[in-house]
Structure 1
């Protein structure tokens, strides 16, 4: 193996990048992947929890923690970046929940989810390749880390 594919995360990114070479598709992903990630967090936030045992957002917090563990094991720098991302998404989601209520948050999350997925499929139509997650669902987790890794490279940070 060479230096660029020694770690599993590098192999995931190499494979994922192969389906995302078109600049327009990449730009669409930079916008839509975080939007989809947030919308999933928000949708999970809206799931009911047993009264008195848990607080709103418990399911979202558990999912974010599980995803964060995946990212942290793959790359500590990316893990810390995704932790910051999840914390910001959690604060945003809590603020929207407090200001819009559960139904308002649910409506916004559904709208963002639908529009962002439409964007993703338009990007893949432009690219001429099917979305990576259709071959392996793990790519649903790789996409957000891939976008963050693009930011890290732009800033000159190692991941």
Structure 2
């Protein structure tokens, strides 16, 4: 593929895929990247709102909206998929807040974050390559849609 003529998302994926060739590392990423994404949402959910008429979760909602706008600009089909995943993540955070409280949600988010990042670094150790985000922090946003694009390809869906 002529990378100069490729869409920006194709260039991002080609570069990201270059750091994720090992099947074990890819399998780890398929689990750990969504876990990290959810844990970040959960941690943002727990930040107290500045204004009294806002509820907990406002910072997570703003972050999800910003990320969704970026994803939707790169690829409308992946943007729709991420919108669905963000909605599910928000619902899960709200449910957990109701069932185990903000403190429980906070500790769940921290636990998932730590375990998933340890898995990521184990995967990159197996791969023998350093994580992509060490060269460009944008790859922290690319990881979730890279995983979603793998799912789309399995179903034969275009992105």
Normalising by structure 2, we get a TM-score of 0.97
Segments of 4+ moved more than 2 angstroms: 1-5, 50-53
C-alpha displacement of 1:50? 2.8
> Does 1:34 find its partner at 2:45?
no
Q: Which runs of 5+ in 1 are unaligned?
A: none
Q: Distance in 1 between matches of 2:33 and 2:71?
A: 16
Q: Distance in 1 between matches of 2:15 and 2:32?
A: 19
SS in 1 for 2:137: coil
> Where do residues 94-109 of structure 1 align in structure 2 (5 Å cutoff)?
94-109=94-109
> Does 1:59 find its partner at 2:59?
yes
Alignment correspondent of 2:140? 140
Preserved contact between residue 3 and residue 11 of structure 2 (Cα < 8 Å): no
> Where do residues 109-124 of structure 1 align in structure 2 (5 Å cutoff)?
109-124=109-124
C-alpha displacement of 1:14? 0.1
Preserved contact between residue 41 and residue 60 of structure 1 (Cα < 8 Å): yes
Q: Which runs of 5+ in 2 are unaligned?
A: none
Q: Distance in 1 between matches of 2:40 and 2:125?
A: 23
Alignment correspondent of 2:2? 2
Number of residue pairs the alignment of both structures matches: 159
Alignment correspondent of 1:90? 90
CA RMSD of aligned residues (A): 1.3
Alignment correspondent of 2:49? 49
